[in-house]
Amino acid sequence: MNFLAHLLLSGENRAVQAGNLFGDEIKGRDYSYLPYDVVRGVTLHRFIDNHTDTSELNLELKKALYPYFHKYAGVALDIYFDHFLSRHWAKFSEISLELYAEDAYTELRPYVEFFSSKSERLFNSMTKHKYLTRYGELNGMIAVFVEMQKILPNNSGMENAIKALEVHYELIENGFAEYFPILFTDSQHKLLDLLSVQ
């Protein structure tokens, strides 16, 4: 999953959201310098990544995307899922995406200090370019993949991202519609388990 999904699947606790959003930046198991709720978010992030990477539904989607992206098919799929989450946002949240995103930009900023300078640059770019509300637009997706091209190797295939989305739009949307509710439910159960441990 990409940024929008990781945030939504974190519940309402801002520290958990921060840990989930920037979970990729935390390496190893030394969490001693992090607030406990941020650690819960990192743990949830790893649960979501494993759930997504091992799903049979997603493995089939990645096979369809492999000719465009090769080993980076999963990266593209994560971003495509944020596109469809944006398009179907009202099914998963009673808060408008615009209000949700603006609140996230404001409330998560104090937590950026716990992560790397890369995370700070990412958060600043996300805020400046309003990525969370632009995933549902074609121009927004183009902007996201242009940024991905800057940070991934030249052979990542991200220049093919819009074409691949157009060719396989119905397939990916159907895959999202089948898979995301499962992930949503399983993530909520995992989050409840994490929050129950003091």
- 41-93 pLDDT, tens digit per residue, is 999 999 999 999 999 999 999 999 999 999 999 999 999 999 999 999 999 99
Is pLDDT above 80 for 198?
no
Q: Containing domain of residue 155, as a range?
A: 3-196
Please return the burial class of 184, using the count of CB atoms within 10 Å of its CB with bins 0-12, 13-18 and 19+. middle
Identify the CA nearest to 78 among candidates 29, 117, 45: 45
Which pLDDT tens digit goes with each residue over 150-160? 889 888 999 99
Position 1 scores a pLDDT of: 62
- pTM (global) more than 0.85: yes
Position 51 scores a pLDDT of: 97
Position 129 scores a pLDDT of: 85
Q: What is the mean pLDDT of residues 164-193?
A: 97
State the Cα–Cα distance between residues 155 and 144, nearest whole angstrom. 17
State the Cα–Cα distance between residues 159 and 145, nearest whole angstrom. 7
Position 120 scores a pLDDT of: 85
Position 117 scores a pLDDT of: 79
Q: What is the mean pLDDT of residues 30-42?
A: 88
State the Cα–Cα distance between residues 81 and 20, nearest whole angstrom. 16
DSSP character string of the chain: --HHHHHHTTTT-HHHHHHHHTGGG--SS--TTS-HHHHHHHHHHHHHHHHHHH-HHHHHHHHHHHHHHGGGHHHHHHHHHHHHHHHTGGGT-SS-HHHHHHHHHHHHGGGGGGS-HHHHHHHHHHHHHTHHHHTTSHHHHHHHHHHHHHHS-GGG-GGGHHHHHHHTHHHHHHHHHHHHHHHHHHHHHHHHHHHH--
State the Cα–Cα distance between residues 107 and 102, nearest whole angstrom. 9
Is pLDDT above 90 for 32?
no
- 26 φ/ψ sector (left φ>0, alpha ψ -120 to 50, else beta): beta
Which pLDDT tens digit goes with each residue over 84-108? 999 999 999 999 999 999 999 999 9
Total tally of structural domains belonging to the chain: 1
Position 86 scores a pLDDT of: 97
